A = this chain, B = another copy of it.
Amino acid sequence: MRAVSLFGSEVKFQQVVPEPTAGNGEVLVDVLLAGICETDLQLRNGYMRFSGIIGHEFVGVARSGRFMGKRVVGEINCSCQRCDWCHRGASNHCPSRSVIGILNRDGVFADTVAIPERNLHVVPDSVSNDFAVFAEPLAAALQIHRQVDLRKKRVAVLGDGRLGMLCAQSARLITDEVLVVGKHSMKLERFIKLGFSTQLLGELTHQPSFDVVIDCTGSPTGLETACAIVQPLGFVILKTTVAREHSMSLAPLVINEVTVVGSRCGPFAEALSALESNAIDLDGLISHRFAIDQAVEAMQTAASHEALKVVFDLSR
């Protein structure tokens, strides 16, 4: 089969790699669409020191098992189901987990991927492939609801990219006051069309005006900006993993008794339900489609400012 692999910091398309075999409890899934995530770009910078087939956002068709022939999306944490973490419902933090395309497990930028069957969720018929491919990042955006009460809160979303779009729309399911802060007027236009207030980062007044700030920048300076605009006793949600280090003083966190919440993967069932009920508008969020053999170009495009979501179309 075809696949896109990371060797050190180099992304390579490979025309012929062995097809995976389904392990115990696993099924093979033929990938239809796969999305490039900020994390995939970070992997190139050394994040997680990963080598192997990358990619973790996908919609595909199960080739066997109880979902055989159905369209599925999949949770990315593959847990042991035996440890304390798994037993108390926190299997996303299973210490011996593998993570699809991120940690000790091949990913979905391939014709076929082996995935534990329990990780799979069937996509409702009314949800298109173009929307279903967002199930994983949308679930991650919805994870914020489980961590911080957004009701009646003034929320700022830092980042005008794909994750910012999902987090802003997720936040608006709970509160009316959501400001999106970004670097690019063109990208902010999309938010304005959806009825969001927006502001250019360069024009942002560094006043503590928000109860909750969601950092979707993928930049090591995101936390510092968030700390400058969050109110005392407020919350900063860190949504993006950044491999690079950044230097900042932590004194403002202490003085203002701010709470910083790391936030990673979220509830797939809620994400699919939000898509099925049209509560989240993803129309046009896919800005570029590539065949899998255009991997290098696709990754470059995903890293550029003009791109929103870049996907591999495995049917090509």
Flag the segment in A129-137, A183-191, A250-258, A279-287 that touches B: A250-258
Is A20's CB within 8 Å of the partner chain B?
Answer: no
Give Cα A251–Cα B48 distance, bound, in whole angstroms: 10
| B254 and A263 contacting across the interface, CB-CB below 8 Å | yes
Give the contacting residue for A254; candidates B220, B232, B238, B249; CB below 8 A: B238
Distance in Å from the Cβ of A149 to the closest Cβ of chain B? 14
Q: Which of A171-179, A239-247, A295-303 contacts B (4 or more CB under 8 A)?
A: A239-247
Known: A90-B233, A93-B233. A255 touches B262 (CB 8 A): yes
Q: Least Cβ distance of A310 to chain B in Å?
A: 22
Q: Is A1 an interface residue (CB 8 A)?
A: no
A16: Cβ under 8 A from any B Cβ: no
Check A260 for interface membership: any CB of B closer than 8 A: yes
A146 to chain B, nearest CB (A): 10
A259 contacts which chain B residues (CB < 8 A)? Answer: 259-262
- Please tell me if the beta carbons of A47 and B232 are within 8 angstroms of each other in the complex: no
Residues 259-274 of chain A, each 1 if its beta carbon lies under 8 Å from chain B, else 0: 1111110000000000
Asked if A249 contacts B260 (CB within 8 A), the reply is: no
Chain A residues in the interface with B (C-beta under 8 A): 47, 85, 90, 93, 95, 147, 208, 220, 223, 232-233, 238-264
* Residue contact B262 to A220, C-beta cutoff 8 Å: no
Which residue of B is nearest A232, CB measured? B93
Collect the chain B residues with CB atoms within 8 Å of residue A208's CB. Answer: 95
Complex: how many Å from CA A233 to CA B257?
19
Closest-by-CB residue of B relative to A240 is: B254
Q: Which of A95, A253, A257 has the most CB of B within 10 A?
A: A257
Q: State in angstroms the CA–CA spacing of A245 and B221 once bound together.
A: 13
Q: A223, A240, A241, A243 — which one has the most chain B CB atoms within 10 A of its CB? A: A241
**Are A238 and B264 in contact, with the CB atoms below 8 A?**
no
Query: Of the candidates B85, B240, B246, B251, which one forms a contact with A241 in the assembled complex, judged by CB atoms under 8 Å apart?
Result: B251
Q: Closest B residue to A93 by CB, please name it.
A: B232
Question: What's the nearest-Cβ distance from chain B to residue A154, in Å?
Answer: 13
Chain B residues whose CB sits within 8 angstroms of the CB of A258 once the complex forms:
262
> Most B CB atoms within 10 A — which of A223, A247, A260, A261?
A260
